Structure 1
Amino acid sequence: MTAPLLRPIEPRDVPAVLALNEADVDVLSPMDADRLAALQGWAHRADVVEVDDGEGPQIAGFVIVVDGGSTYDAENYAWFTERYGEDFHYLDRIVFAPRFRRRGLGGLVYDAVERDAAVRGRLTLEVNLRPANEPSLAFHAKRGFVEVGQRAYTDGTVVSMMAKKV
């Protein structure tokens, strides 16, 4: 596999990004092309991870990060805004195709995202506790994220609101 490329989402990437989101929609918010375009408008970063593992360039995953002070309309983002004002970056979602997981790509993306977030002092996100997203919880704990709260939803879902000072 050649060195991965982290680059802004382009129109040609939209079908791949939407397919990746849909494949993991049980732990993500649903997203169609219009919602992706809106997210890109709010985002500090809306990037794909492009790799070539011998079959030509492919979209291995994507990440969307919104910085504090945005007009982003998500409830979890608003929760962090109430606590931190504009002093945070919010990782809205990060997704990798199953065949590209456990190859160090997540660490590469988080390194870049955390460098960006340093200007605001912290990176925030949420991870499902019910249903539990154990791989994500373990990954974030290893990277130094700590729980700063929890949110429960009427459908029984509970998320851990996490932050890392950077």
Structure 2
Amino acid sequence: MSIVIRDVREHELDSVLALNNNAGLAILPLDSARLQRFYRQAEYFRVAERDGNLAGFLVGFGADSDHDSSNFRWFRERYPNFFYIDRIVVASRRRGGGVGRAFYADVQSYAELRYPQLACEVFLDHGADPALLFHGSFGFKEVGQSQMPDAGVRASMLMKELCSYSWVKQTYGDTLPDQPWTRSRLQVETAGERSTGTLA
């Protein structure tokens, strides 16, 4: 069955929280207050549906956001303009079924319209080889390592150049064509509803 990537809905946050906190040591735990903050502030917060069920989620922030992650700060101290993947979680029963790849195709499609680089990290202390291989196959390269002071976890800091960004910037400047798939979830339509993202 097909995978649908779309913006999260507020009533789904409890399910997102459960997915996050059942994901194991590769993902930092969340509480409901922090998840609500993500919902209010994250530039990209999408879920995957497969067979009508929630199969995962991905949260991301632009370099100018007021995000308080130590890994986000690590990138911001070194790079002026990037899009940061804070976390991706895929339900255990859906791992290996293409959900992660669908998310990364979607988030890259979103980010390359706005940012020259895509950033994320992989925790190194709990069997990182599958995650490093996954990111390497998408063109990410390690640009450093960081010891997270708030979690005591060592992370490989990864960055990917987004080759379409320069063309988009030269062609459209700061004004993208108004299409559903080009809108940020934080853009409010005149009707007062959040726009829905689609896999471009």
Same fold per TM (> 0.5)?
A: yes
Determine if the alignment matches structure 1 residue 117 to structure 2 residue 116.
Answer: no
1:163 paired residue number: 159
Please name the residue that 1:143 is paired with.
138
- State yes or no: 1:69 paired with 2:68: no
Deviation >6 Å, runs of 4+: none
3-state SS of the aligned residue for 2:134? helix
Pair member with larger Rg: 2
Deviations 1:48-92 (A, max 9, x none): 10111xxxx11000000111100111111011111112x100000
Higher RCO (C-alpha 8 Å, min separation 6): 2
Distance apart, 1:25 and its partner CA = 4.3
Amino acid in the other structure paired with 1:35: R
Identity %: 36
State which of 71, 74, 79 in structure 2 corresponds to 1:79.
74
1:43 aligns with 2:39: no
Q: Deviations over 1:76-120 (max 9, x none)?
A: 1011111112x1000000011111111111111111111122121
Is it true that 1:103 corresponds to 2:102 in the alignment? Answer: no
**Alpha carbons 2:47, 2:57 under 8 Å: kept:** yes
- Cα RMSD between the aligned structures? 1.4
1:38 partner letter: R
Structure 1 portions without partners, runs of 5+: none
Larger mean CA deviation between 75-84 and 35-44 belongs to 35-44
Runs of 5+ consecutive residues of structure 2 not aligned to the other structure: 163-200
* CA shift for structure 1 position 153: 4.0
**What is the alpha-carbon distance in structure 2 between the residues aligned to residue 79 and residue 67 of structure 1?**
14
